[in-house]
Structure formats: C-alpha cells, structure tokens
Amino acid sequence: MGERSNEEIRQEEPEAYSARLHDSRVVRGLYLTVGFAALILGVVGIVLPVLPTTPFVLLAAACFARSSKRFHDKLLANRTAGPIIREWVEHRSIRRQVKRWVYLLMALSFSSSILMLTSFWHQVMLAVLGITLVAFIWRIPVRDSDPDP
C-alpha cells in the first residue's frame, strides 16, 4: 500500500527520471551490484547514527538507472524514497521538512550514542563527526514546497 505501479510512474516521470541503461552487460552487472550494496548501506544507515541514509539511496537510484529499469522504477515508486530522489534529480535540493527531520534524527541518534559511551575520546569523536555531518547537510540547498501541487 502506498506504492504506485510502474506504469503510473512512467506516465508521470520526465526524461530526467527515466533509466538509461549501459550498453555492456558486465557494466550493468557492476552497477546493479553497487546499487544493491548502496541500498543495503542506506537501510543500515536508518538505525546506525554514523552511517547516512540519503546519499546511499541516491547512489542506489543512480546505479539502478544505469543497470535495471525495473529496480529503478521500484525505487522511484517507493513512497518514502521516491519523492526525495525526484527532488534531488529535478532541483538538486531537498525539501525543508526533510532537512528538519534529518537534523532531528541526527541529534537524537548522536546524543544518545554520546551519552551511552564511557570513553571521553569516543564521545569527542562522535561529536566532531556529528558536527561535520550537520555542516555537510547545512550546505545542501533547500527548496520549499511548490504552492501549486
């Protein structure tokens, strides 16, 4: 539930979303492998505070666009990842609401991880890593929602 059919996606998507498969089967296989590895890392990043999710999902989408139209369409049809991928492909930005969620989840995961650690140096390392990730996310352009959907 919540996912649309591939045919609905194909009818709505501009040319930028469509998959452009590589000519070589070997290269397509490599892209597919990297795409699944990135998707797995993105899913793991949902629960691990240090591993980002969005860059891996975007990498998976790019790899699937060059290797498998079927998996590319499935990722675009996903109700959570699809809109974020479309936003990035079309505008090279993320929505303000998504960015706020990223900050909130990062704050919760990093602060809880820092509080659980006993080693001062590990706490400092996580704090520096968290600040670095916040600076990275801060640099991503924000686009407010369109007034007319």
CA pair distance 35, 29, nearest whole angstrom: 10
**Predicted structure pTM score:** 0.63
Residue among 54, 101, 103, 63 at smallest CA distance from 81: 54
CA pair distance 111, 62, nearest whole angstrom: 32
pLDDT single digits (tens) 30-70: 999 999 999 999 889 888 767 778 788 888 999 999 999 99
pLDDT single digits (tens) 124-148: 999 999 899 889 889 989 987 665 5
Tell me the β-bridge partners of 95.
143
Contact between residue 39 and residue 57 where contact means Cβ atoms under 8 Å apart:
yes
Tell me the β-bridge partners of 142.
94
Lowest mean pLDDT among 7-11, 41-45, 69-73, 93-97: 7-11
